[in-house]
Copies of this chain bind each other. A is one copy, B any other.
Amino acid sequence: MLSKKAKYGLKAMFYLADRFEKGPVLIADLAEEEHIPKKFLELILLELKRNGLLHSKMGKGGGYYLNKPPAEVTVGQVVRILDGPLAPIPCVSKTAYRKCDECDNERTCEIRKIMMQVREATAAILDHTSLKDAPRAQFEVARRK
């Protein structure tokens, strides 16, 4: 399951992708437009920033913005930062492998084989979809001055 956190994060990233190189966007605006609780969104954006996906400016005229072209940021990156590994079970994760507790024979574990396929399929989709790939309905909302 995709958490609300990740969902909000993706919404925010798509929003910011739309405004790439058009100046910083206020958290408050983003929160209102996308119907995301402002305080919650703050934490999310901060986390995305800490992981190198966003830049920000404090003070008047500040806000958040993408630091790379939308085509260079994938949905997979965003989801991993906010929800952790894509793998359904830790023992098939490439970015955060961990041995299963009960599993004594990883090589022959059929659950592992199946979930490995799921992970591959999921990663194939999310890591090859960038913020630019998903064509987006135009916002009608004018940016606040």
Given the known inter-chain contacts A102-B35, A122-B122, please indicate yes or no for A136 contacting B115, CB distance below 8 A.
Answer: no
- CB contacts under 8 Å to B, within A89-138, are 89, 102, 105, 108, 110-111, 113-115, 117-118, 121-122, 124-126, 129, 134-137
In the bound complex, CA of A10 to CA of B7 (Å): 29
Q: Which of A35, A36, A114, A117 has the most CB of B within 10 A?
A: A114
CA distance A122 to B108 in the complex (A): 21
User: In the complex, how many angstroms separate the beta carbon of A97 from the nearest chain B beta carbon?
Assistant: 15
In the assembled complex, A55 has its CB within 8 A of some CB on chain B: no
CA distance A105 to B125 in the complex (A): 22
**Contacts beyond the supplied A2-B115, A34-B102: 17 A-B pairs with Cβ under 8 Å:** A1-B89, A2-B88, A2-B89, A7-B89, A14-B110, A36-B102, A108-B136, A108-B137, A110-B135, A110-B136, A113-B134, A114-B126, A114-B134, A118-B121, A118-B125, A121-B121, A122-B122
Binding site for B on A (CB under 8 A): 1-2, 7, 10-11, 14, 34-36, 75, 88-89, 102, 105, 108, 110-111, 113-115, 117-118, 121-122, 124-126, 129, 134-137
